[in-house]
Structure 1
Amino acid sequence: MKANRAHIKDLLTAITRVFTVSSIIMLIWLSYFWGEKKSSLNQTNIYICGTSVLGSDYYLQYLESSFDAGNFHSDINILLDKIYEHPFIKGARLSHRYPDKVILEISERVPFARVNSGPDQMIMLDEHCFVIPHIEQVKSYSVPTLSRFNSEPKLYPIGEKALSVKIKDTIDWLRLLNQNHPDLYHNISEIFLTNNDEINLVLAENPTKIMLGNSDTHYKIDLLRAFEKTMGNKKNITDFAYLDMRYNNQVIVKE
Structure 2
Amino acid sequence: MTGSMLKKDEMLSSLYRLIYSGIIIFLLYVTGRGYLNWLENSPLFDIKSIKIEGSNYLSEKEVLRLSNLDIVKRVWDADLESAVESIKTYPFIENAEIVRRFPNRLEIKIKEKEPVALINFQGDLYSVDKQGLVLPTIPGRMYNLPVISGKFKGGIKIGSRISGSIADKGLFVIRTIITKHPYLYNDISEVFVNNDGNITIYTHNKGIPVKMGNKDILNRINYLWAILQEIKREKTVSEIKYIDLRFRGQVIVGMRT
| TM-score (norm. length: structure 1) | 0.68
Unaligned runs of 5+ in 1: 1-29
> What is the CA deviation profile of residues 183-216 of structure 1, one whole-angstrom value per residue up to 9, with x for unaligned ones?
3221211111123211101122222111111111
Tell me, in whole angstroms, the C-alpha distance in 2 between the residues paired with 1:104 and 1:66.
12
Q: Any conservation in 2 of the 1:87–1:132 contact (CA below 8 Å)?
A: no
CA drift of 1:134 comes to 2.0
The counterpart of 1:136, out of the listed 133, 136, 139, is 139
Tell me, in whole angstroms, the C-alpha distance in 1 between the residues paired with 2:61 and 2:194.
44
| 2:102 counterpart residue number | 98
Q: Any conservation in 1 of the 2:212–2:245 contact (CA below 8 Å)?
A: yes
Unaligned runs of 5+ in 2: 1-36
| 1:22 counterpart residue number | none
| 2:43 counterpart residue number | 36
CA drift of 1:107 comes to 1.6
| 1:152 counterpart residue number | 154
CA drift of 1:239 comes to 3.6
**Alignment map for 1:27-176 (pairs within 5 Å):** 34=41, 36-37=43-44, 41=46, 43-49=47-53, 51=54, 54=56, 59-63=59-63, 71=71, 73=73, 76-77=78-79, 80=84, 83-119=87-123, 121-138=124-141, 140-150=142-152, 152-153=154-155, 155-158=156-159, 160-176=160-176
| 2:16 counterpart residue number | none
Residues 172 and 238 of structure 1: CA distance in aligned 2, closer, same or farther (over 3 Å): farther
Q: Any conservation in 2 of the 1:207–1:241 contact (CA below 8 Å)?
A: no
| 1:254 counterpart residue number | 255
Matched to 2:136, the amino acid is P
Tell me, in whole angstroms, the C-alpha distance in 2 between the residues paired with 1:162 and 1:60.
28
| 2:211 counterpart residue number | 211
| 1:14 counterpart residue number | none
Matched to 1:254, the amino acid is M
Q: Any conservation in 2 of the 1:114–1:124 contact (CA below 8 Å)?
A: yes
| TM-score (norm. length: structure 2) | 0.67
Residues 85 and 205 of structure 1: CA distance in aligned 2, closer, same or farther (over 3 Å): same
Tell me, in whole angstroms, the C-alpha distance in 2 between the residues paired with 1:35 and 1:226.
65
**Alignment map for 1:230-241 (pairs within 5 Å):** 233-237=233-237, 239-241=239-241
> What is the CA deviation profile of residues 60-93 of structure 1, one whole-angstrom value per residue up to 9, with x for unaligned ones?
2543687999646597558546633544311113
Residues 232 and 114 of structure 1: CA distance in aligned 2, closer, same or farther (over 3 Å): closer
2:132 is paired with a residue of what secondary structure? coil
CA RMSD across the alignment = 3.4
Tell me, in whole angstroms, the C-alpha distance in 2 between the residues paired with 1:62 and 1:80.
14
Tell me, in whole angstroms, the C-alpha distance in 2 between the residues paired with 1:236 and 1:106.
44
Matched to 1:131, the amino acid is V
> What is the CA deviation profile of residues 37-77 of structure 1, one whole-angstrom value per residue up to 9, with x for unaligned ones?
4xx52x4411234x3x839xx64254368799964659755
Tell me, in whole angstroms, the C-alpha distance in 2 between the residues paired with 1:230 and 1:90.
37
